[in-house]
């Protein structure tokens, strides 16, 4: 008999703050969009930097960290080194994110302090993951991906802190030299490789896919990891050629990854296109759009293409991958905590019963429309279209928040 132990599930009260706060940061990021003007948008605009940190740290990282608290024991088949440490992560990450957002916006002196608070939160997370991985006896592709992504995160946040100190004028450092490394280490090295690794576990599990090859994922993860290293080497050595090698490798790796996802989709037994499936289809469509736009930018140098590419990967790929999975992970956690002890004693709901069908559907439709309309606004440089897209997203983000609270507070009238 093979033993696959999952008796290390952390309590829901530990994980729920990550999801609630993450959803609130998503809403805040969407509200932020109303204060942008398309005319002067630039990647290094302080408003953009504030917005990006609010979205990536507050929503993306916060939600991923919460999900990892639950998924790590399942994937690694060992208990957490110190799951209680997660109680410290969300308050620190939340406070640090707000300080950094304000720091970029109008109080640069807040940046190093916010940066240090975020650094502490992330170091706790990274060290906890490393020490948990240390307990693993046999490595597989998913565990390797978690290890690689966390190593990239470790270096990414160190680079980020040095930049924050430089930005506040506390140390003298060439921020632009470190910027590309920081961006690639955190966004590609951590977020994307984490999503890639977890997709091997989550997508076949929810879609009941079998009989697909893992080889494309292995190839794509290797290529994407090499791309991060190339950009980092270029950033530190000043060899511009390596930077373009990195971009090309990243695009290539992600195209191979997309092919892998297609094979999972093709071999799934569960054909139902529910809000989870719709969200992921939109997410991967956004990923491909982003790659095409990014490559177009490399060829043309037209900056709106780059902005739109980044937009599609952030609010299309990242956001929909996360929101889609929230409709699976949150009901499961609530069910596990609240209803699993009642199995065999009383009638209990199915996980699908715990989904707020209308608000989930509204979230998907309005957010998808919002993402596409904002993308059009960025390409067309149209102020009115941008506000229209932001309005769609606002309705979608409110519907998402409602869905999260509905699922977390789900109670069944047991007869």
Binding site for another protein (CB under 8 A): 1-7, 9, 70, 74-75, 201, 204-206, 208, 210-211, 269-272, 332, 335-336, 339-340, 343-344, 348-352
Residue 52 makes CB contacts below 8 A (sequence gap 6+) with 314
Q: What is the DSSP letter of 79?
A: -
Smallest gap from Cβ 210 to another protein, in A, equals 4
CB nearer to another protein: give 4 or 415: 4
CA 326 to chain centre: 12
CB nearer to another protein: give 108 or 349: 349
CB nearer to another protein: give 352 or 414: 352
Report how far residue 366's alpha carbon sits from residue 393's, in angstroms, rounded to the nearest whole number.
Answer: 6
Smallest gap from Cβ 62 to another protein, in A, equals 21
Smallest gap from Cβ 370 to another protein, in A, equals 30
CA 206 to chain centre: 19
Report how far residue 163's alpha carbon sits from residue 104's, in angstroms, rounded to the nearest whole number.
Answer: 12
Backbone angles phi, psi at 93, to 5 degrees: -65, -40
Query: What count of other Cβ atoms lies within 10 Å of the Cβ of residue 338?
Result: 16
CB nearer to another protein: give 201 or 401: 201
Tokens (6 digits) for 156: 């990414």
Which residue has 């769609």 as its token pair?
Answer: 392
CB nearer to another protein: give 74 or 295: 74
CB nearer to another protein: give 185 or 264: 264
Smallest gap from Cβ 77 to another protein, in A, equals 8
Which residue has 């940046």 as its token pair?
Answer: 111
CB nearer to another protein: give 170 or 350: 350
Report how far residue 395's alpha carbon sits from residue 27's, in angstroms, rounded to the nearest whole number.
Answer: 9
Smallest gap from Cβ 402 to another protein, in A, equals 23
Smallest gap from Cβ 149 to another protein, in A, equals 18
Q: Taking each helix axis from N to C terminus, what angle separates 383-408 and 12-32, rounded to the nearest 10 degrees? A: 160
Smallest gap from Cβ 287 to another protein, in A, equals 23
Smallest gap from Cβ 75 to another protein, in A, equals 6
Backbone angles phi, psi at 302, to 5 degrees: -80, 110
Tokens (6 digits) for 351: 């996980």
Tokens (6 digits) for 221: 């993860």
Which residue has 């069910």 as its token pair?
Answer: 335
Q: What is the rounded radius of gyration, in angstroms, for the C-alpha atoms of the chain?
A: 21
Smallest gap from Cβ 93 to another protein, in A, equals 24
Residue 107 makes CB contacts below 8 A (sequence gap 6+) with none
CB nearer to another protein: give 46 or 209: 209
CB nearer to another protein: give 140 or 361: 140
Report how far residue 96's alpha carbon sits from residue 116's, in angstroms, rounded to the nearest whole number.
Answer: 8
């Amino acid at each position: 008999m093979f033993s696959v132990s999952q008796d290390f599930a952390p309590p829901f009260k530990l994980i729920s703050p990550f999801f609630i706060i993450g959803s609130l940061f998503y809403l805040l990021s969407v509200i932020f969009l109303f204060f942008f003007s398309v005319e002067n948008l630039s990647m290094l605009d302080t408003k953009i930097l504030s917005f990006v940190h609010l979205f990536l740290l507050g929503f993306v990282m916060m939600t991923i960290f919460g999900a990892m608290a639950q998924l790590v024991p399942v994937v690694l088949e060992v208990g957490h080194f110190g799951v209680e440490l997660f109680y410290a992560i969300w308050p620190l990450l939340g406070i640090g994110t707000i300080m950094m957002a304000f720091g970029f916006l109008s109080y640069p002196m807040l940046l190093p302090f916010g940066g240090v608070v975020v650094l502490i939160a992330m170091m706790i997370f990274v060290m906890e993951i490393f020490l948990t991985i240390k307990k693993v006896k046999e490595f597989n592709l998913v565990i390797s991906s978690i290890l690689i992504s966390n190593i990239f995160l470790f270096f990414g946040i160190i680079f980020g802190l040095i930049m924050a100190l430089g930005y506040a004028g506390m140390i003298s450092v060439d921020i632009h030299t470190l910027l590309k490394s920081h961006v690639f280490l955190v966004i590609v090295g951590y977020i994307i490789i984490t999503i890639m690794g977890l997709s091997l576990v989550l997508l076949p599990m929810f879609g009941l896919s079998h009989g697909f090859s893992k080889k494309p994922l292995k190839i794509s993860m290797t290529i994407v990891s090499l791309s991060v290293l190339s950009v980092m080497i270029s950033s530190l050595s000043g060899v511009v050629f390596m930077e373009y090698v990195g971009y090309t490798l990243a695009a290539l790796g992600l195209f191979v990854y997309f092919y892998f996802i297609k094979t999972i989709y093709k071999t799934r037994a569960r054909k139902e296109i529910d809000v989870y499936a719709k969200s992921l289809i939109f997410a991967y469509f956004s990923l491909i759009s982003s790659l095409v736009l990014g490559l177009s930018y490399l060829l043309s140098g037209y900056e709106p293409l780059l902005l739109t590419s980044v937009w599609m990967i952030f609010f299309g790929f990242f956001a929909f991958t996360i929101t889609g999975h929230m409709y699976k992970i949150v009901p499961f956690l609530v069910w596990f905590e609240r209803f699993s002890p009642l199995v065999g004693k009383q009638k209990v709901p199915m996980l699908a019963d715990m989904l707020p069908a209308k608000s989930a559907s509204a979230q998907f439709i309005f957010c998808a429309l919002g993402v596409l309309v904002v993308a059009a606004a960025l390409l067309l440089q149209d102020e009115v279209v941008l506000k229209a897209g932001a309005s769609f997203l606002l309705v979608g983000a409110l519907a998402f928040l409602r869905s999260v609270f509905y699922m977390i507070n789900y109670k069944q009238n047991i007869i």
